[in-house]
Amino acid sequence: EIVLTQSPDFQSVTPEEKVTITCRASQIIGSSLHWYQQKPGQSPKLLIKYASQSISGVPSRFSGSGSGTDFTLTINSLDAEDAATYYCHQSDSFPFTFGGGTKVEIK
Amino acid sequence: QITLKESGPTLVKPTETLTVTCSFSGFSLSTGGVGVGWIRQPPGKALEWLTLIYWNDDKRYSPSLKTRLTITKDTSKNQVVLTMTNMDPVDTGTYYCAHVSGYYFDYWGQGTLVTVSS
């Protein structure tokens, strides 16, 4: 089973600041890594697919990068509505796995 | 417009079997490349993938839960059913179904909270 380790677990950020969240896979997964945003009381929402591919309707301040074992989700110029927990997910092999999540709080 | 909605009991007793139904619209499970998956989330914890079924009836299960899970589809009713046997309090959480486009979850249901308690 591929383990995904996210860091940090928690981040408190000022609006307009840049946020960087990392996800490290326990083995090489190519670009089979996806990012989701989950706001309190809501279902997860797909933000980025295949490491860096954008999703229609998702603000352009969200971007992804990486391949192999190390991946990054970047939020440029954080908005108050971005307060949420962010999860990575690998689909390189079954069983699918998720990272432990990174909670982003707005200062 | 793709939508999914989970339905089932909110409370089950330990050792009982949970049956949750995902009713969907806006897509067909007979279309190539399409699937429906189940993901759960204990209160305050991370997401955990459980199982998924593809248009061709290919089924995948979490190895740690494989002996307890069954996923089935009814293409004519646009439904996918998850059953989980021998429920335990640690199985308490929100159960989500999601549309699978190849290998990622692009549409999610609202989730259904299941509590396991006697």
- Region for residue A80 given its phi and psi (left: phi exceeds 0; alpha: psi -120 to 50; beta: otherwise): alpha
Residue B94 pLDDT level (bands cut at 50, 70, 90) = very high
> What is residue B29's predicted lDDT score, i.e. its pLDDT?
95
pLDDT of residue B4 exceeding 90:
yes
The letter for the amino acid at B109 is G
Taking an 8 Å cut-off on Cβ atoms, the answer to whether A101 and B62 are in contact is no
Tell me if B105 and A46 make a contact (CB, 8 A cut-off): yes
Q: In this predicted structure, what is the pLDDT of residue B50?
A: 98
Interface test with B, best of A9, A10, A43 (most B CBs within 10 A): A43
Nearest Cα to Cα of residue A37 among A93, A95, A96, A79: A79
What is the pLDDT averaged over residues B97-107?
96
Over residues A84-103, mean pLDDT: 98
Of chain B, the percentage scoring pLDDT greater than 90 comes to 99
Question: So what's the pLDDT on residue B36?
Answer: 98
**What whole-number distance in Å separates Cα of residue A71 and Cα of residue A59?**
19
Taking the Cβ of residue B38 and every Cβ of chain A, the question of whether any pair is shorter than 8 Å is answered with no
Give me the residue from B46, B61, B62 closest to A100, CB to CB: B46
Band of the pLDDT at B102, cuts 50, 70, 90? confident
How many whole angstroms separate alpha carbon A39 and alpha carbon A41?
6
Can you tell me the mean pLDDT for A6-25? 97
Q: How far apart are CA A27 and CA A10, in angstroms?
A: 24
Q: In chain B, which residue's Cα lies nearest the Cα of A91?
A: B103
